Amino acid sequence: MKSCDPLAQLIAAFRAGIAKATGCDSGSIDPQVKVSGDPKHGDFQCNAALVLARAAKVNPRDLAGSILQATELGDLVDRTEIAGPGFINVWLSATAIARMLRELSGPSLGIEPAPLPHAVVIDLCGVNVAKQMHVGHLRATIIGDVIARLHERLGRKVWRENHLGDWGLPIAMTLASLRRQRRDFRSLTLDDLNAAYRSAQLEATSDQAGLQAAQVAGAGPHRLAELELQNQLACAAEQDAKSTLLKLQGGDAATVADWKQLIEVTMTEVLETARVLGVHLTDQHSRGESFFRDRLAPTVDAFVSSGLAKEDAGAIVVTFADRERPMLIRKADGGFLYATTDLAAVRFRVQELDGGHVIYVVDARQRDHFKDVFDGVRMIGWDTLSDGTHATLSHLAFGSVLGTDKRPLKTRSGENFTLRALLDEAIERGVQQVMRRATDPTSTTHGMAESELRSIGAAVGIGAVKYADLACDPVRDYVFDLDRMIAFEGDTGPYIQYAHARIASLLNRSGQSAEAIAAADFAITEPAERHLSLCLLQFPHVVLNAAETLSPQRLCAALHEIAIAYSGFYQSCPVLKAPDQAVCRARLALSRLTQRVLAEGLSLLGIHAPLRM
């Protein structure tokens, strides 16, 4: 990666130079090299002299001069200058830029394998059986998928884990309700299950307080009879659910068969939604709460026997020295909780999946829950890997999806948007945009078959939704505004897709073969060529950084910057009408490399890169 990464090369050179100039240990030196904010002040800046001079009580400009004199930059740099109080401004040589572009244009696009000694485990999606996917699942699914793609691209072992909510009393309530209705489980749809889930909750809802209040107030016999019947039916429904749960836990064949049917109906919809989203998610990635059911009692026993948990009013809790809230891991009635399951899951993911980094892509509102779980895991030592090192446990929290009124996204009737409804709307908007543009006789899509236009429109619509989500800091809420997201201008997915398609069209119109373009030499003579080249050369570093920091938004920002830089290059540097064939081929080579980088970046985001738009 370093051979085509100017930032990495400059960091290494200045680190060695600073060590030589100051006598400091090179391993402890931060050269503070960064991309310049203004090309008038160079391509890069080294700002280490200001910090080091303060500590050594010397003049920073003098120290900057010593550092520069001791730093071997070779032909990487064309010129340098010391500016202001001690900034070192650096301009790369055109020869070095061309050489690094050639390295970048190899099959791997400069992204060298960066394997880890242990696996990366990513908890994503997290759907519940018998419930429709909603907009919250959008973020958990696509953010988790991109983090997985980034780590996979770096050659790491990745486990995608869809923690399916398929166990416990709520599922048993739904199962029991459907059985009371004598429903044919083989003909159920997810809408049927969703309705049954809601009705089961209502059926088991009693109102003892209301009955007591009515009795005290001397309500009429009709009202009292209504409340008594409600409570009787609720009690019967609850008992039926508990009986069904016992049968399920006991392995009753008929009950287990019906339960598996609920899972199949749910997962059929989930996997189809993942396909539409362009997310890599299969049955093999789904490991439900039921998988951990036999590990829950041993989990509680382990915390009790280690002295980390205690009884509190019949319940079992884990206490922490730095907070008042305890973590409840077994209720007084013997029931287990989400914390119990998550403790067992983290132990499994670290010790059996060999997870050196376990990442939970879950709603920010679960922050306290995961702090408790992770601290509990560390206290009992379940974060220890086979080689004695400790796993990193991360909660990649994300905010809410808001409507244009800045409130949680709802339908006009006040219901939560189902994810499929949202995606269907996005696809339809994308199709409308593509078809409208295809009416222009100069458009590359003019005259295409409707089926092809619809396919491109679907890619545009889904790409718009995914990019809008991924481009912002995950922990922030964001506004779901399809009019803005679907635009072919601005910081949007379609803008980057369109930039890719425009370059593909240019290359096609050039009449040059892919082999001829690939064999052309890069030549950096114009400022716009230089700016685009520097943006492209940052790509390998961005991919590594986005993976290491769990920040897909950094990749989005880099792709947007490249697309803007290419637009500037295209306006300033004629390609097909270049002054001569050598310049034309060099600019075609730069265009082809840009297209490849955009396609690779979009692929890492799980977004399709159409060749025509």
Tell me if 371 sits within 8 A of 325, measured CB to CB: no
For 443: left if phi > 0, alpha if psi spans -120 to 50, otherwise beta; the answer is beta
CATH class belonging to 419-604:
mainly alpha
Average pLDDT over residues 394-423: 83
| Helix %, strand %, coil % of the chain (to 5) | 60, 15, 30
Q: What is the pLDDT of residue 178?
A: 93
Residues 309-329: tens digit of each pLDDT: 999 999 999 999 999 999 999
| 1 pLDDT more than 90 | no
Other C-beta atoms closer than 10 Å to the C-beta of 248 total 21
DSSP state of 47: -
- Separation between Cα atoms, residue 515 and residue 346, nearest integer Å: 50
Output the pTM of the full model: 0.91
Better-scored residue on pLDDT, 465 or 194: 465
Tell me if 538 sits within 8 A of 108, measured CB to CB: no
Q: What is the pLDDT of residue 237?
A: 74
Q: What is the pLDDT of residue 206?
A: 61
Which of 512, 534, 535 has the alpha carbon at shortest distance from 586?
Answer: 512
Other C-beta atoms closer than 10 Å to the C-beta of 378 total 15
CA dihedral (228, 233, 236, 240) in degrees, to 10, reads -160
Q: What is the pLDDT of residue 11?
A: 95
- 3 state DSSP class of 79: strand
To the question of domain 119-166+283-398 being in CATH 3.40.50.720, the answer is no
- Separation between Cα atoms, residue 373 and residue 349, nearest integer Å: 13
Give just the sign of the alpha carbon dihedral 372, 376, 378, 384: negative
The pair of three-digit structure tokens given for residue 602, joined into one six-digit string: 């979009």
What percentage of the chain exceeds 70 in pLDDT? 94
Residues 78-113: tens digit of each pLDDT: 999 999 999 999 999 999 999 999 999 999 999 999
Contacts of 275 (CB under 8 A, 6+ apart): none
DSSP state of 319: E
Q: What is the pLDDT of residue 522?
A: 96
Residues 448-462: tens digit of each pLDDT: 999 999 999 999 999
Give just the sign of the alpha carbon dihedral 361, 364, 369, 372: positive
Residues 238-292: tens digit of each pLDDT: 888 889 988 998 899 999 999 999 999 999 999 999 999 999 999 999 999 999 9
Pairing label, strands 87-92, 77-83: antiparallel
The pair of three-digit structure tokens given for residue 277, joined into one six-digit string: 């989203």
CATH code for the structural domain at 2-92: 3.30.1360.70
Band (pLDDT 50/70/90 cuts) for residue 414 is: low
Q: Which helix (H) or strand (E) holds 196?
A: helix 190-203
Band (pLDDT 50/70/90 cuts) for residue 496 is: very high
- Separation between Cα atoms, residue 184 and residue 268, nearest integer Å: 17
- Mean pLDDT over each residue of the chain, to the nearest integer: 92
Q: What is the pLDDT of residue 134?
A: 87
Residues 150-175: tens digit of each pLDDT: 999 999 999 999 999 999 888 999 99
Pairing label, strands 315-320, 323-330: antiparallel
Same topology for domains 2-92 and 119-166+283-398, yes or no? no
Q: What are phi and psi of 453, to 5 degrees?
A: -65, -40
Q: What is the pLDDT of residue 415?
A: 63
- The string of DSSP codes covering 261-288 is HHHHHHHHHHHHHHHHHT----GGGB--
Q: Which amino acid is at 120?
A: V
- 3 state DSSP class of 328: strand
Domain boundaries, the chain: 2-92, 119-166+283-398, 169-250, 419-604
Band (pLDDT 50/70/90 cuts) for residue 211 is: low
Average pLDDT over residues 176-196: 91
Q: What is the pLDDT of residue 88?
A: 97
Give just the sign of the alpha carbon dihedral 287, 291, 293, 297: negative
The pair of three-digit structure tokens given for residue 96, joined into one six-digit string: 């070095």
| 75 pLDDT more than 90 | yes
- Separation between Cα atoms, residue 330 and residue 323, nearest integer Å: 19
- Separation between Cα atoms, residue 470 and residue 361, nearest integer Å: 13
Q: Which amino acid is at 32?
A: Q
Q: Picking from 29-43, 277-291, 403-417, which range would have the lowest pLDDT averaged per residue? A: 403-417
What percentage of the chain exceeds 90 in pLDDT? 81
| 9 pLDDT more than 90 | yes
| 8 pLDDT more than 60 | yes
Band (pLDDT 50/70/90 cuts) for residue 580 is: very high
The pair of three-digit structure tokens given for residue 476, joined into one six-digit string: 């922030």
Largest Cα–Cα distance of the chain, in whole Å? 99
Band (pLDDT 50/70/90 cuts) for residue 214 is: low
